[in-house]
């Protein structure tokens, strides 16, 4: 991936990280933690790709690749949590409306 695209992705991920951190602090909801962790890992992956491109963990896994795999797991938690919240919101509207 070209460095310009990696830098752009880093900027986008950092913007999302800050936005969700602010929302989570303002709303005081634990739900935003999964989003913050996801975008933290994605930001770290892009930063590692830019600053430490030749860094590998055991079994020759690149650092940025390992961070992206961890971000997938965090994203799965976040998506699951979002679906549960959506289902609960729909159920509440049905009961009250």
pLDDT for 50 equals 96
What confidence category does residue 79 fall into, taking pLDDT thresholds of 50, 70 and 90? very high
CA atoms within 13 A on the CB side of 75: 11
pLDDT for 35 equals 94
Note down the domain range covering 47.
3-96
Q: Count how many domains the chain has.
A: 1
Instruction: Tell which residue, 50, 30, 40, has the closest CA to residue 73.
Output: 40
pLDDT higher than 90, residue 2 = no
pLDDT tens-place string over residues 46-77: 999 999 998 999 878 999 999 999 999 999 99
pTM of the model: 0.86
């Amino acid at each position: 991936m070209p460095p310009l695209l990696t830098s752009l992705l880093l900027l986008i991920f950092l913007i999302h990280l800050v936005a969700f951190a602010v929302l989570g602090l303002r709303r005081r909801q634990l739900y935003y933690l999964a989003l913050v962790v996801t975008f933290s890992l994605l930001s770290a992956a892009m930063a590692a790709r830019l600053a430490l491109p030749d860094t590998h963990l055991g079994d020759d896994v690149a650092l940025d690749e390992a961070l992206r795999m961890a971000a997938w797991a965090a994203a799965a938690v976040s998506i699951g949590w979002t679906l549960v919240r959506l289902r609960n919101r729909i159920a509440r509207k049905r009961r009250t409306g």
